[in-house]
Amino acid sequence: MPLRHELKYCVNNMQHQLLRRELMVALKPDSHAGPDGRYHVRSLYFDDFRNTALFEKQAGIARRKKYRIRIYNLSDDFINLERKSKIDYYVSKERVNLTREEADRILAGNVAFLAKSESRLLRAFYLEYRRNLLRPNVLVEYYREAYVHPVGNVRITFDIDLHTGLNSLELFNKDAFTMGITDYPIILEIKYDNVLPRVVRGLLPSTIRPWQATGKFVISKKFNKYNDWEDQ
């Protein structure tokens, strides 16, 4: 699996505006962005009845993983099942495309068809689903503003207007009820392979400090007050 570095920060609106002004000069905007420079991301995360993915993340377990299904701009044109893994100081993300029919079957709990999938990732998800009783656990959505740089395969993103579904796991429902998480206005993530180019490092002011290793999944779970697995 390709391994990458991932640095996370929490920035305020002023820091965001100052940084994006610099990034727009030195890096290229993501090609998938809309006219406003952003695109919408909605993810449905899975966890087991022990909330293993949640507690391993909070405990800082060196090697862990979690699964999610992700869509963009509230459309089912591109549906990905993803496995994000933490391996010591590195992260890796694997993905496979799903059809709407496949996604609906998975969300309905009908996963038997994955057992003979040609995709290694889908077969692994099937085993995890059966063995650990994975279930849809929390809905997370936000707007993403992204910039890229070819050296080091750098990708810098601002995740803005973070929302989570309250008692709602309806991935494809455009009217699903979600609530904003105002304590985390803007999340800055810097991802790269082996080297972070000097031109990128120079854009980060010393006033920005590394944020705790808490992801949007954990933030949303806390906001939902650790919803009981049985209630979902």
149 forms beta bridges with: 154
Contacts of 40 (CB under 8 A, 6+ apart): 72, 73, 74, 141, 142, 143, 144
pTM, entire model? 0.92
Model confidence pLDDT, tens digit, residues 52-73:
999 998 888 889 999 999 999 9
Supply the pLDDT for residue 212: 58
Q: Is the pLDDT reported for residue 228 higher than 70?
A: no
Q: List the one residue out of 186, 196, 101 whose CA is nearest residue 149.
A: 196
Share of the chain above pLDDT 70, in %: 93
Q: Is the pLDDT reported for residue 230 higher than 60?
A: no
**CA–CA separation, 148 and 33 (whole Å):** 12
- For the residues of 170-229, what is the DSSP string, one character each? -TT-TT--EEE-TT--EEEEEEESS---HHHHTTS-TT--PPPS--HHHHHHHHTT---G
Reported as a pLDDT band with limits 50, 70 and 90, residue 199 is confident
Domains and CATH numbers, the chain: 5-224 (3.20.100.30)
Q: List the one residue out of 205, 110, 122, 218 whose CA is nearest residue 164.
A: 218
Supply the pLDDT for residue 229: 44
Distances (CA, A) of 97 to 61, 79, 107: 28, 6, 15
Phi, psi (degrees; rounded to nearest 5) at 214? -115, 120
**CA–CA separation, 33 and 36 (whole Å):** 7
Cα angle for residues 127, 135, 84 (degrees, 5° grid): 65
End-to-end, the C-alpha distance of the chain in Å comes to: 32
Whether the CB-CB separation of 163 and 178 falls below 8 Å is answered with yes
| Secondary structure element (H or E) that encloses residue 134, with its range | none
Which two three-digit tokens encode residue 115? 């057992």
3-class secondary-structure state, position 156: strand
Whether the CB-CB separation of 125 and 65 falls below 8 Å is answered with no
Supply the pLDDT for residue 4: 94
For the purposes of burial, counting CB atoms within 10 Å of the CB of 88, is it exposed (0-12), middle (13-18) or buried (19 or more)? Answer: exposed
